[in-house]
Structure 1
Amino acid sequence: MTEINTDKLAEAFVSALAIDAAEVTDELAYSQHPKWDSTAHMVLVAEIEAAFDIMLDTDDIIDMSSFAKAKEIVAKY
């Protein structure tokens, strides 16, 4: 697993979910944040793909349930 730019990933979360940077922690989870709904999830995927110049697999998009999990997934690419 490669080291990823967590600041760049955090910026994608801030932009996609319209949240404060302080809210972006490993504990930030899809099921627990009111602004992280299915629509925001797709915006987040687009932000991450653009920021890291990658195309996420469908399974990874579905599995991305937290900021911590997003770090794991992006590191695979």
Structure 2
Amino acid sequence: MNEKLRNIFASVLDIPLEEVTDELAYGQHDKWDSMSHMMLIADIESNFDIMIDTDDIIDMSSFAKAQEIVAKYESE
């Protein structure tokens, strides 16, 4: 899951895979803005076949948090 998620982040944000670390955070990288955030959500939902609720969309503030959120939905 982590590698798949890393690839989604790298692709959507158009950044090298090496930049996708747990420390990658919304607003701290110039390519992760509100528009790319929604594109990330759409790609994650599509690739993992999940539907992320609004609170989790808002909470997804870092790559580390995204991993937690996706894991939560995959276990449901």
Q: Same fold (TM over 0.5)?
A: yes
| Cα drift, residue 51 of structure 1 | 1.1
> How big is the alpha-carbon RMSD for the aligned residues of Structure 1 and Structure 2?
0.6
Q: Does 1:22 align with 2:18?
A: yes
TM norm structure 1: 0.92
C-alpha distance in 2, partners of 1:66/1:31? 9
Q: Which runs of 4+ in 1 moved over 4 A?
A: none
**Which of the numbers 51, 56, 61 marks the counterpart of 1:60?**
56
**Which of the numbers 56, 61, 72 marks the counterpart of 2:68?**
72
TM norm structure 2: 0.93
Q: Does 1:50 align with 2:46?
A: yes
Find the residue that maps to 2:31 and give its secondary structure.
coil
C-alpha distance in 2, partners of 1:39/1:52? 20
C-alpha distance in 1, partners of 2:42/2:12? 9
